[in-house]
């Protein structure tokens, strides 16, 4: 549904076999109407975009209407302030993109089997207060949240997490003290201007294969205990303080020498 005034939404209850629903540019939509959603229990994919008056997704037990929903995306809904306390029970993929006034996430996120969570340009979000992410999560991507200062304190408990990407987030000077999950295989950190140190326990990430660090100007060294022994690819770029220490003569070279594939300051190092 694109650029309509919401009239078609009133007839959704007749679409009992509907599996994918995309709603875009419905300027009158403030909330998904419960009466229209009751019968579309086969819905697996729901995408909302550019609904300028959307304030809340649904009210009360509206998530009960989405008992089959597996993928949910919200794009460019600027008046959306918060997520419902309860999300659909078997939701696996969640994207929150360019919702600049979204202030808080669902407190019940840890109850769903989420495997993929991506959040981008959610400017009002400063932290993940008391929000527990589900330990089923395999992919966590946080981009361009310009006021986000803290990663989730419970990130070390994400015992299925394999990919972590952080881009253009100020963050505080360091990662949470509890460290990162040992299941991680891929980490990318890009343009985190305030970050000064990586987790001391980084060497314990025995599954980590690829580490990319770019445009982190205050990062001056690698952890004292070095990098994981199984790391197969390292890319450090536009980090002047760190690059200065990664030369073969001194500094942190002994921490990176074992990595078979290295790219430092845009150059392949052997």
- More confident site: 153 or 193: 193
pLDDT score, position 84 = 87
Residue 107's nearest CA partner among 66, 160, 63, 75 is: 63
CA distance 142 to 218: 20
pLDDT digits (tens, 9 = 90+) for 216-270: 999 999 999 999 999 999 999 999 999 999 988 778 899 999 999 999 999 998 7
pLDDT score, position 51 = 93
pLDDT score, position 233 = 98
- Compute φ and ψ for 117, nearest 5 degrees: -130, 120
CA distance 174 to 195: 6
pLDDT score, position 8 = 59
pLDDT score, position 88 = 92
Residues 136/113, Cβ–Cβ less than 8 Å = yes
Residues 148/142, Cβ–Cβ less than 8 Å = yes
Q: How far is CA 135 from the centre of its chain?
A: 14
Taking residues 201-221, what's their average pLDDT?
Answer: 96
CA distance 250 to 222: 13
pLDDT digits (tens, 9 = 90+) for 118-168: 999 999 988 876 678 999 999 999 999 999 888 887 898 999 999 999 999
- Compute φ and ψ for 62, nearest 5 degrees: -60, -25
Taking residues 159-178, what's their average pLDDT?
Answer: 89
pLDDT(4) > 70? no
- Compute φ and ψ for 233, nearest 5 degrees: -145, 130
pLDDT(173) > 80? no
What is the C-alpha R_g of the chain? Answer: 21
Residue 239's nearest CA partner among 198, 201, 207, 185 is: 198
């Amino acid at each position: 549904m694109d650029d309509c005034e919401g009239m078609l939404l009133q007839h959704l209850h007749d679409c009992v076999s509907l599996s994918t629903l995309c709603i875009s540019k419905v300027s009158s939509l403030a909330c998904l109407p419960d009466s229209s959603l009751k019968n579309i229990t086969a819905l697996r994919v729901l995408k909302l975009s550019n609904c300028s008056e959307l304030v809340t997704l649904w009210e009360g037990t509206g998530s009960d209407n989405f008992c089959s929903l597996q993928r949910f995306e919200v794009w460019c809904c600027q008046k959306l302030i918060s997520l419902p306390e309860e999300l659909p029970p078997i939701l696996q993929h969640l994207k929150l993109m360019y919702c600049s006034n979204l202030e808080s996430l669902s407190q019940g996120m840890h109850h769903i089997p989420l495997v993929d969570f991506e959040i981008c340009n959610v400017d009002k979000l400063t932290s993940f207060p008391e929000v527990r992410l589900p330990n089923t999560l395999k992919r966590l991507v946080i981009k361009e949240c310009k006021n986000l200062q803290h990663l989730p304190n419970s990130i070390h408990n994400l015992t299925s997490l394999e990919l972590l990407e952080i881009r253009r987030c100020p963050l505080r000077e360091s990662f949470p003290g509890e460290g990162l999950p040992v299941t991680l295989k891929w980490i990318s950190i890009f343009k985190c201007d305030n970050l000064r140190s990586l987790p001391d326990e980084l060497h314990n990430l025995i599954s980590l294969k690829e580490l990319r660090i770019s445009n982190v100007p205050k990062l001056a060294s690698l952890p004292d205990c070095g990098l994981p022994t199984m790391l197969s690819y390292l890319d450090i770029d536009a980090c002047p303080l760190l690059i200065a220490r990664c030369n073969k003569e001194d500094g942190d070279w002994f921490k990176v020498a074992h990595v078979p594939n290295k790219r430092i300051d845009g150059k392949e190092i052997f």
